[in-house]
Amino acid sequence: MPPLAINPVQATTATGYLPSPQNIEPTDGSGFASILTGAVDNVQQLKSTSNELAIKAVTGDLQDIHTATIASTQAQVTLEVVAAIRNKGIEAFNDIMRMQA
């Protein structure tokens, strides 16, 4: 099996899925939902890869432990970014609802 290629985390696209700001067009809101869904799917894929590499590391089938460590850290950081985006979205929604009251 070829070694896992791990892309570096890009500063402008924290999850590696989000489009650049120049490519974002105003829509009816479905774009935000699809971006968030894609980010969650990306987190799940990263976590799955991390779990597979951890199992290989424990069983001795992994040649380079650094690959497993990097994959695990990348999954953790991506999850934290997605959770922070979700929390900010909920906070913004609650602020809007308080304004209407």
Is the pTM above the cut of 0.85?
Answer: no
Residue 95's pLDDT is what?
A: 94
Q: What pLDDT is stored for residue 86 in this prediction?
A: 87
pLDDT at 24: 58
Distance (Å) of CA 79 to CA 96, 100, 101: 26, 32, 33
For residues 83 and 93, what is the distance between their CA atoms, to the nearest angstrom? 15
Burial of 36 from C-beta contacts in 10 A (0-12 / 13-18 / 19+): middle
* Radius of gyration of the chain measured on its C-alpha atoms: 17
Which residue in the block uniquely carries the two structure tokens 């990348």? Answer: 74
With a cut of 50, which residues of the chain have pLDDT below it? 1, 9-15
Sketch the domain layout of the chain as residue ranges. 27-100
Residue 50 CB coordination number (10 Å):
19
pLDDT value of position 92: 92
